[in-house]
Amino acid sequence: MRTDDLIKALDADARSTAMPLGSAWWIGAGVATVIAAVVFWLAIGPRTDIATAMQTMRFLAKFVFTTALAVSAFALIRALSTPGASTSRAAARMIAAPLLVAVAVVLELFAVPSTEWGTRLIGSNLVICLTFIPLIGIGPLAVFLAVLRYGAPTRPVLAGTVAGLLAGGLAATFYAAHCFDDSPLFVATWYTIAIAILAALGALGARLFVRW
């Protein structure tokens, strides 16, 4: 088939339309949030003392970290799934969540005597954290990989990793409402590991499924 012949065929198919990728991302984000919410309520639900917890800085700070991660990852993944789009600004903003956590860790180290650092770091929910963040995030991750496939990421593995970070940020936002360990020392350690698991799964999933 000559290239001119191919162009004839493509032109004859010009009228077929597909949803713009930008809309697909918003729908994907909505579906992923619903999935995460359902899994969260069915599996663990919020902690019983949530009303009192909401008045503490440490509890609220967790949501700042996790939504910062989700929001910045969402912007980056949209850029990564569009060929030729500039990603540098969105990539630079990914520093926000780690930076906020780092500041909180430093403040915590000043606020709490060093004898208590160990207990706060280990917490009491470590296994639950490492189980449920990936569990809540796995459905959203599948949704994000599907949208990536619909898009055209020229760096699929990187985009898959960011999909994992996005799913991790979303899952951790829900999980944070359940967890009793509010210390930034706990969050910086175990949330990070749990989200990294999703990021690794995202990279692997993209390598296997995101081809175009």
The residues binding another protein (CB under 8 A) are: 1-22, 24, 81-85, 151-152, 154, 211-212
Which is closer to another protein, CB of 3 or CB of 115?
3
Min dist CB 160 to another protein, Å, is: 15
Which is closer to another protein, CB of 84 or CB of 113?
84
> Which H or E run contains 90?
helix 88-93
Min dist CB 157 to another protein, Å, is: 13
Say if residues 151 and 201 touch (Cβ distance below 8 Å). Answer: no
Min dist CB 199 to another protein, Å, is: 22
No. of H helices and E strands in the chain? 11, 0
Q: From its phi and psi, is residue 153 left (phi > 0), alpha (psi between -120 and 50) or beta?
A: beta
Which is closer to another protein, CB of 48 or CB of 154?
154
Min dist CB 72 to another protein, Å, is: 20
Cα 72 to chain center, whole Å? 9
Which is closer to another protein, CB of 52 or CB of 154?
154
Residue 156 CB burial class (10 angstroms; 0-12, 13-18, ≥19): buried
